[in-house]
Structure 1
């Protein structure tokens, strides 16, 4: 028997997909604190995968984890989008591709 240890947060349907492939998986349900910790680890994992592949699938995975992290921390998606919009209005987005090279302060 071949066993692969993962110990990572996965999407809700992954155990079902593994079972449909004729494999057996062992899962557990995380506590709130464990879930927040694993979400943070998942953000790192998905960001690393995006850096490697730089495709829209990895961006979608990142967005899904950000949404889950917001909800797990007690925010709604509406609140998250509202804050994004307010920051975009107040500080702008990233469309102009501005690279801040330095700031000089005259004394």
Structure 2
């Protein structure tokens, strides 16, 4: 049992007088752990109780998303271009629209 942690966490934990064991993940393990962490952070953002907590969780979510992108060789510019393209072709979420039913 374990989880992906930020690089400075072991140092911080040890400075507090606690024990922590860590290991470096393989590239495949790292990719999987980043994807798990992405879901974890999204769930924490969903549960954020106030604006400050939401800002913190969104920052964590962005950090993990960008780490996954870097690991996969995806640039921030590519992500922003895809976001802009999708916004142009499908719109944004500013209209606050919610589908109540859909049939094909």
TM-score of the aligned structures, taking structure 1 as reference length: 0.82
Partner of 2:3 in structure 1?
8
3-state SS in 2 of match to 1:33:
helix
| Post-superposition offset of 1:57 | 0.8
What RMSD, in angstroms, separates the aligned Cα atoms of the two structures? 1.7
Compute the TM-score of the two structures, normalised by the length of structure 2.
Answer: 0.85
In the TM superposition, what is the alpha-carbon distance from 1:22 to its structure 2 partner?
A: 1.8
Structure 1 moving runs of 4+ over 6 Å: none
- Residue in 2 aligned with 1:78? 77
Which of the pair has more CA radius of gyration? 1
Gaps of at least 5 residues in structure 1 are 1-5
Aligned equivalents of 1:103, 1:45: Cα separation in 2? 29
Consecutive unaligned residues of structure 2, counting only runs of 5 or more, are none
The Cα shift of 1:65 comes to: 0.9
Higher percent of residues as helix = 2
How far does the alpha carbon of each residue in 1:55-83 deviate from its partner, in whole angstroms, 9 at most, with x for none? 21111111111111111112111111111
Equivalent residue number for residue 30 of structure 1: 25
2-structure distance, mates of 1:93, 1:10:
32
Aligned length: 100
Aligned-pair distance for 1:24?
Answer: 2.4
The Cα shift of 1:89 comes to 1.5
- Among candidates 22, 25, 34, match of residue 39 of structure 1: 34
